[in-house]
Amino acid sequence: MNKIIKFKDLTYKYTDNDESSTALNSISKEINQGEFVVIIGHNGSGKSTLAKLLNALLLPTSGDVYIMGNNTKNSQLLWEIRETAGMVFQNPDNQIVATVVEEDVAFGPENLGIESNEIKIRVEEALNTVGMLEFRNKAPHMLSGGQKQRVAIAGVIAMRPSCIIFDEPTAMLDPAGRKEVMDTIRKLNKDENITIIHITHFMEEAVDADRIIVMEEGQVILEGLPREVFSKVKALKSIGLDVPQVTELAHELIEAGVNLPEDILTVDEMVMHLCQLN
């Protein structure tokens, strides 16, 4: 299968000579084209550092990162790498640069030197994809958090990336905004076949991932299908992480003697299993 992202023995230290500043400690992974990967792990575990390394915002202290086979250390390929692997951050206000929505979305493709007719087409398509076309002439500061974040996403997809890295894009949003953004991310993955790396601390957002990677102290400590990862309730809790609420409920019911599977992930599954009890 086509590996869009590969990193090998990847180590990152914020200052070269200080062991305590090791943010990533020799991790290796491969991500397939079209995969939806969720990364969880508590504050300081190295998630944002990894995200920045995948976009060549940071370069490895040692080891290598390859985006579509291109090593991020090759400065001549920098724009190609950033075009392939787009990035969306936590705070939409820090990502929106223009005073009109469509101008903001045009900013990325303009920087890539794309000609203006093509930019118009891309901006319209991108805004349509995130469901924000009717806001094209609005001022970004008039929008809700979820709407602003969707505009920021449109700005990234207007550059036609194969892969988007989302670093806690829902952290500052209310539940409605979170849902808007998650629906958009899932749509990009399913309909546009864009590879997604989604960093989050909301466990519910990880339930339908193809793979979950759990990070702790700069290393990958657990990895697998959501069902596999979240069934390890005790291991996750011991490092201060949660599981989806319904998985937690199942776990407590099992401890209380109710006959349920360990790997319930959704409310529908819970209802189904409870209805089968007699």
Minimum separation from the CB atom of position 221 to ligand ADP (A): 13
Question: Nearer to ligand ADP by C-beta: 22 or 129?
Answer: 22
Question: Nearer to ligand ADP by C-beta: 14 or 271?
Answer: 14
With contact defined as beta carbons under 8 Å apart, do 245 and 77 qualify?
no
**CA 29, CA 197: separation in Å to the nearest integer?**
12
Residue 160 interaction partner, one of ligand ADP, Mg ion, none, beta carbon < 5-8 Å per kind: none
Minimum separation from the CB atom of position 45 to ligand ADP (A): 4
Using the contact rule CB under 5 A, the part of the chain among 7-15, 47-55, 122-130, 150-158 near Mg ion is 47-55
Minimum separation from the CB atom of position 196 to Mg ion (A): 17
Closest-CA residue to 169 (of 87, 52, 241, 242): 87
Closest-CA residue to 98 (of 46, 41, 138, 58): 138
Residue 268: CB atoms within 10 A of its CB come to: 10
Residue 75 interaction partner, one of ligand ADP, Mg ion, none, beta carbon < 5-8 Å per kind: none
Minimum separation from the CB atom of position 181 to Mg ion (A): 17
**CA 41, CA 217: separation in Å to the nearest integer?**
9
Residue 197 interaction partner, one of Mg ion, ligand ADP, none, beta carbon < 5-8 Å per kind: none
For tokens 């990193």, name the residue: 7
Residue 273: CB atoms within 10 A of its CB come to: 16
Minimum separation from the CB atom of position 227 to ligand ADP (A): 24
Contact residues for 196 (Cβ-Cβ < 8 A; gap 6+) = 35, 36, 37, 163, 164, 166, 185, 188, 189
**Cβ density class 224-235: b for 16+ within 10 Å, e for less:** eebbebbbbbee
Residue 93 interaction partner, one of Mg ion, ligand ADP, none, beta carbon < 5-8 Å per kind: none
Count the residues of the shown chain that bind ligand ADP, applying the rule CB under 6 A.
11
Question: Nearer to Mg ion by C-beta: 48 or 72?
Answer: 48
Residue 41 interaction partner, one of Mg ion, ligand ADP, none, beta carbon < 5-8 Å per kind: ligand ADP
**CA 274, CA 278: separation in Å to the nearest integer?**
9
Contact letters (x/-) for ligand ADP, 27-56, by CB under 6 A? --------------x-xxxxxxx-------
Can residue 48 be called a binding residue for Mg ion (CB under 5 A)? yes
* Residues binding ligand ADP (CB under 6 A): 14, 21, 23, 41, 43-49
